Structure 1
Amino acid sequence: MEIKWITGRKRAVALVGVFFIVVAGVGMITLGGVAVDDPFTVSDRGTDPSTTSGNEGTADEEATPSDEENSSTPPPTTAESDPDPSDDQVEDRQGVNFVPGVRNFNISTEVFDESSPDVEDGFVTPGEHRLLRFDMIIYNVGDADAELGRPENRPDLFEYSESHGHPHLKGFNNYILLDESGERTGAVRKQTFCLRDLYQIRSTASNSSQFDCEYQGISAGWADEYDASLPGQYIVIDDLPDGEYTLQATTNAAGTVEETCESDNTVRVDLSINNDTVTTHTPQSHYERPSAC
């Protein structure tokens, strides 16, 4: 093997070139094999969900025993680090990639009458209920739009919500509360949603939203969020004793939308419940940031 040494002026030029490459890389991350702005440093409150029309989530009734059996093996939790992907992984990751996030946990005791939206949609029965509420966020960190289109063209995927006034995607998210030994409690929720562009999470993404509840989807580099205050955005914990629990939240649970990566569709958060107080033990960076697929 022949080795050639760089000397004099050629060596200086080479060093300057290396320095330029290093400086140019500052402030970037590798996501999907491409250096981009970190989408999780962009403000995710660009649009206030509480003041934006159509920002609603609804739910099916509690999961049936068959549903629970089919998901008895929880999907992998979000990883704590983002190792650089290989060239093969980069090629495989072109497309839609949903990553969930949860936050803002609180416990409330609420009374529902027969005319309440939650009762009309079958979330709860009339009466007093103790609820574990939280925000659910769906990030599309892939490089392709998740386009579902007009709900009336896909009655197999959508159902109409009388209380909310528009169609919702069936069973898109699943929420399960596990006890300290990892066993399921009775607190389970199959959740339906209107998928739309709520706020931009990546500076290189399109600056204009293109999906709403009439033409549904989530654009690449955008996210949808379902605020804890919305009807159905909770798990009923009426008879749940105080103790240590884990919330497991899965998006695209039925595989409705084809993704290039499904191993980062579930997040888990360790919680302590004491009377009307809930405390999270899992660092927020571990359940909002996606793993590398």
Structure 2
Amino acid sequence: MPLEEEFVIHHLSPRRKRWGIAALAAAALGAPLLAATATTPASGAEPTDPAIELVAPDKVTAYAYRGGIYSDLGFRLEVEDAPLEIWSQRAPDYLTLPTAVAKLPSGDVTLPEQEQVGQLKRFVKIRIVDRNNPDAAPIRRFRSSCVGETSERIHPDAEFKNPFPRTCYYSSFALGAVSGIPAGWAGTIFGYESRLRLKPGQYDLTVRVTKGYAEALGMSPAERVASTVLTVKTEDDCRGCREGRSTPRLSPNRHEPDPSGGVDSIADLPPGTPTPDLRSLPAFGIQVSRNGSQLQFAANVWNAGNSPLVVDGFRRDGEDVMDAYQYFLDEGGNQVAYQEVGTMVWHPAPSHNHWHFNDFATYELLNADQTRAVRSGKESFCLANTDAVDLTGDGAAWDAYEEDLGSVCGGYELRSIREVLSAGWGDTYTQYRAGQSFPIKNLPDGVYYVRVLANPDSTLIESDTTNNESLRKVRLYTDRHGVRRVKVPQVGLVDESGGIYDQFRG
């Protein structure tokens, strides 16, 4: 289910100021000034309006949930060259209908008649054909929409942050709303509660931006329509997960950062650039599985630095792999540098079903002499803020709980994704996740150490790599009934006997 996020109303600065920030960030990267040069015309030149295209994956699997479909159906508006910014307003006496305006670089454009502030009335038309009953009359529906209710960056050199409100809220008494999609980003047109009521089966789904909006936004006939094959299943088919493996080739985003414009070490960053600092907490929640064959545990890697750890992934052509890049921000939160840091992979296990970043941490069970006995199969992670570890540190984010979690794990159909671990926050994984345990059936009784190591291959740039390891001493033994058990000495004054806090994530 979509996670509730605190709604922060941003004071939107003039578009030219946003373009200037994007230009400075791109220049600092040595990257093409895509967001700036395309939208800031030279003296006497005609301004460039956004190029907008409706896109969809070839196939989408959705799950019936409480009478509707739990999916955003994969449809996105991709925006190039300039931001798409939409304002809707109404008079405070409530005696007239709201109006909606697209604020384009060439000037304001009035959109079709509205009924509600924040919703574009009858923005798209939906046509559904049942593949199992092609002779039946197609289902046709109009759908109102909030443009960019969720969004992701599709060009690595596009504006780093989305300046528009991150979600859409509606009130019958609202007086004004702003929504939008920055240049080089893609935004949804459906929320996860699509309100389509369909039986399990396969459908041809076509979505078309209605004529009045398409003409106002300069969309060609080809740019305003997209189609997919929709497979509807019940939750019981996959325990509520989104089964992405049935989806064929998905095209990548059009380009990634130029590797020659990146950085290789912390010394290459501009002086004074804030950086993350990954540290590992002692493993906790340690127990032997009921059948005695696995040592289960929970672990948390956290960010003690003065900057968030930000990793964006960009999908390869036709693969369930994304190339990953770490981004560096100045004190104002603007992108100033990046480096390539490996890959993200699609994790199809039932307790996961989302995108994972590799090379973030490793888990090992060490012998008493601290040589490796067993390595956990858990080697990839979906980064997110689950626990506030230290909010008193320099740069700690007080309000960062679940920041960017709306896109952090993501569905199979995504072509790009952002994963964030904010300063002062950690990411907990429990023993309930596939692969997170140690096989101990063939290990003798004795003393061992659970080792949690952040950034094991030093792939990520951080301020300190000497504090990445934690060791938790344990003793495996067999009781008089022949049952395998574990004794876990207390760490200082910390008493875990009150229970384990389970984060249902992975």
C-alpha distance in 1, partners of 2:429/2:409? 13
Matched residue type, 2:397 = A
Q: Which has the higher contact order (CA 8 A, sep 6+)?
A: 1
C-alpha distance in 2, partners of 1:92/1:262? 18
C-alpha distance in 2, partners of 1:194/1:166? 8
Q: What SS does the aligned partner of 2:346 have? A: strand
Instruction: Say if 1:145 and 1:217, in contact at 8 Å, map to a contact too.
Output: yes
Further displaced range: 175-184 or 222-231: 175-184
- Deviation string 1:68-110 (CA, Å, 9 cap, x unpaired) is xxxxxxxxxxxxxxxxxxxxxxx98941011111111001145
C-alpha distance in 2, partners of 1:249/1:157? 21
**Other-structure match for 1:262:** 465
Matched residue type, 2:491 = P
**Other-structure match for 2:426:** 223
Q: Which runs of 5+ in 2 are unaligned?
A: 1-239, 242-270, 316-321, 325-341, 411-417, 479-483, 495-506
Q: What SS does the aligned partner of 2:434 have? A: coil
**Other-structure match for 1:21:** none
**Other-structure match for 2:440:** 237
Higher radius of gyration, 1 or 2: 2
More helix by share: 1
Q: Against the structure 1 CA distance between its residues 219 and 106, is the aligned structure 2 distance closer, same or farther, given a 3 Å change threshold?
A: same
Q: Against the structure 1 CA distance between its residues 104 and 256, is the aligned structure 2 distance closer, same or farther, given a 3 Å change threshold?
A: same
C-alpha distance in 2, partners of 1:263/1:248? 14
Instruction: Give the counterpart of 2:399 among 207, 229, 237.
Output: 207
Identical positions, percent: 21
1:143 correspondence with 2:306? yes
1:96 correspondence with 2:279? no
CA shift, 1:180, in A, is 2.0
C-alpha distance in 1, partners of 2:272/2:310? 19
1:27-66 to 2 correspondences below 5 Å? none
**Other-structure match for 1:106:** 287
CA shift, 1:237, in A, is 1.4
- Deviation string 1:40-65 (CA, Å, 9 cap, x unpaired) is xxxxxxxxxxxxx99xxxxxxxxxxx
- Deviation string 1:128-150 (CA, Å, 9 cap, x unpaired) is x7111111101111110100024
Q: Which runs of 5+ in 1 are unaligned?
A: 1-52, 55-90, 111-128, 287-293
Instruction: Say if 1:140 and 1:218, in contact at 8 Å, map to a contact too.
Output: yes
CA RMSD of aligned residues (A): 2.9
C-alpha distance in 2, partners of 1:131/1:191? 17
CA shift, 1:282, in A, is 5.8
Instruction: Say if 1:270 and 1:282, in contact at 8 Å, map to a contact too.
Output: no
C-alpha distance in 2, partners of 1:194/1:99? 17
Q: What SS does the aligned partner of 1:157 have? A: strand
C-alpha distance in 1, partners of 2:377/2:368? 19
1:280 correspondence with 2:488? yes
**Other-structure match for 1:247:** 450
Matched residue type, 1:242 = D
C-alpha distance in 2, partners of 1:166/1:272? 35
Further displaced range: 182-191 or 164-173: 182-191
1:183 correspondence with 2:371? yes
Instruction: Say if 1:151 and 1:216, in contact at 8 Å, map to a contact too.
Output: no
CA shift, 1:190, in A, is 5.3
C-alpha distance in 2, partners of 1:162/1:188? 18
Instruction: Say if 2:302 and 2:424, in contact at 8 Å, map to a contact too.
Output: yes
C-alpha distance in 2, partners of 1:273/1:93? 46
C-alpha distance in 1, partners of 2:488/2:370? 16
C-alpha distance in 2, partners of 1:171/1:224? 15
Instruction: Say if 1:159 and 1:167, in contact at 8 Å, map to a contact too.
Output: yes
- Deviation string 1:125-181 (CA, Å, 9 cap, x unpaired) is xxxx71111111011111101000245352641111112221111242222222223
C-alpha distance in 1, partners of 2:363/2:275? 25
- Deviation string 1:262-288 (CA, Å, 9 cap, x unpaired) is 1110011111111332122362579xx
1:197 correspondence with 2:357? no
TM-score when scaled to structure 2?
A: 0.33
Q: How many residue pairs end up in the alignment? A: 180
1:154 correspondence with 2:320? no
- Deviation string 1:247-275 (CA, Å, 9 cap, x unpaired) is 22101112232100011100111111113
**Other-structure match for 2:116:** none
Q: Against the structure 1 CA distance between its residues 282 and 181, is the aligned structure 2 distance closer, same or farther, given a 3 Å change threshold?
A: farther
Instruction: Say if 1:98 and 1:138, in contact at 8 Å, map to a contact too.
Output: yes
CA shift, 1:189, in A, is 4.2
Further displaced range: 251-260 or 175-184: 175-184
Instruction: Say if 2:280 and 2:470, in contact at 8 Å, map to a contact too.
Output: yes
